[in-house]
Amino acid sequence: MIDMGVSVRKLNNALKSLGLTVDMLDAVIVTHEHTDHIKGLATFAKKYSVPVYMTNGTSHAVLQKIPYANNIIHTFCGGDGFDIGSAKIESFLTPHDANESVGYIISCDNITFGFATDLGFVSQNIKNMLSSCDFVVLEANHDIDMLKNGVYPYQLKQRVLGNYGHLSNAACAKCVVDLVQNGVKTVVLAHLSEQNNTPVVALRHINEMLFTFGLTCELFVAPVHEMEQPILLGMEVEQPCLALGSFA
Q: List, as one string, the DSSP characters of 164-191.
A: TS--BHHHHHHHHHHHHHTT--EEEEE-
Taking the C-alpha atoms of residue 240 and residue 188, their distance in angstroms, rounded to an integer, is: 18
Question: Of the ranges 38-47, 83-92, 185-194, 229-238, which one carries the lowest mean pLDDT score?
Answer: 229-238
- Percent of the chain residues topping a pLDDT of 90: 86
Task: Indicate the pLDDT class of residue 227, thresholds 50, 70 and 90.
Answer: low
Domain residue ranges in the chain: 1-83, 109-248
More confident residue, 49 or 236: 49
* pLDDT confidence of residue 109: 87
pLDDT at residue 82 above 60? yes
pLDDT at residue 234 above 70? no
| Averaged pLDDT for residues 121-139 | 97
* pLDDT confidence of residue 30: 98
Run of H or E including 62: helix 56-65
**Strand partners for 111:** 108
Angle at 224 between CA 62 and CA 161, to 5 degrees: 70
* pLDDT confidence of residue 231: 81
- Architecture, CATH, for domain 1-83: 4-Layer Sandwich (3.60)
Nearest 10 degrees: Cα torsion 71, 72, 74, 78: -120
| Averaged pLDDT for residues 5-20 | 91
More confident residue, 90 or 248: 90
More confident residue, 136 or 248: 136
* pLDDT confidence of residue 233: 78
203-221 pLDDT, tens digit per residue, is 999 999 999 999 999 999 9
Task: Indicate the pLDDT class of residue 241, thresholds 50, 70 and 90.
Answer: very low
* pLDDT confidence of residue 237: 39
What is this structure's pTM?
0.93
pLDDT at residue 236 above 80? no
Cα 42 to chain centroid, rounded: 20
| Averaged pLDDT for residues 52-56 | 98
- Percent of the chain residues topping a pLDDT of 70: 93
